[in-house]
């Protein structure tokens, strides 16, 4: 099995629903055999993302983080992942505590991306 997408999502109701909707609308071509699903929680996202990043193989096209209240300790991992050629990182989050971190990531990526984030 060749994994093309990794989806990390909050293991509560809105996170699970967000994962289902995201896959249905954006990753349906990869479902079910080419998606790695990993439920997580905001307090352990850093650990789960680190484990996932170490297991990424050639050919993974997109890493999606859904409803996980991004924290500062996750930023360095996301920056590291952003250096992988042809890998897209998607963050969808409704937590107000994530807003400053998301904005900092946008500023970081503006210098490295050729398209809007």
* pLDDT tens figures, 46-76: 899 988 888 877 778 899 999 998 888 888 8
From CA 88, how far away is CA 44, in angstroms rounded? Answer: 22
From CA 57, how far away is CA 45, in angstroms rounded? Answer: 20
What H or E segment, with its residue span, contains residue 8?
strand 5-10
> What is the dihedral angle through the alpha carbons of 50, 52, 54, 58, rounded to the nearest 10 degrees?
-140
Whether 26 shows a pLDDT value over 60: the answer reads: yes
Whether 27 shows a pLDDT value over 50: the answer reads: yes
- Residues found in the chain: 117
Tokens of 15: 């996170």
Q: Which comes out higher in pLDDT, residue 45 or 112?
A: 45
DSSP state of 42: G
Instruction: Give the mean pLDDT of 23-52.
Output: 90
Tokens of 73: 């300790």
Whether 117 shows a pLDDT value over 80: the answer reads: no
Q: Which comes out higher in pLDDT, residue 20 or 116?
A: 20
Res 116: pLDDT: 46
78-102 pLDDT, tens per residue? 888 888 888 888 888 888 888 888 7
Under the banding of pLDDT at 50, 70 and 90, the label for residue 23 is: very high
Domains and CATH numbers, the chain: 5-110 (3.40.50)
Question: H helices within the chain, ranges in order?
Answer: 13-26, 45-55, 72-81, 99-110
Return the SS3 of 40: strand
Res 115: pLDDT: 47
Res 102: pLDDT: 78
């Amino acid at each position: 099995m060749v994994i093309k997408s990794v989806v990390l999502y909050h293991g509560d109701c809105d996170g699970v629903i967000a994962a289902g909707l995201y896959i249905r609308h954006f990753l349906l071509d990869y479902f079910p055999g080419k998606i790695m699903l990993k439920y997580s929680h905001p307090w352990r996202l850093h650990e789960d993302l680190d484990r996932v990043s170490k297991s990424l193989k050639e050919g993974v096209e997109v890493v999606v983080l859904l409803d996980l209240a991004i924290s500062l300790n996750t930023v360095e991992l996301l920056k590291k992942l952003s250096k992988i050629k042809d890998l897209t990182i998607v963050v969808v989050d409704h937590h107000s505590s994530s807003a400053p971190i998301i904005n900092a990531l946008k500023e970081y990526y503006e210098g490295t991306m050729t398209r809007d984030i």
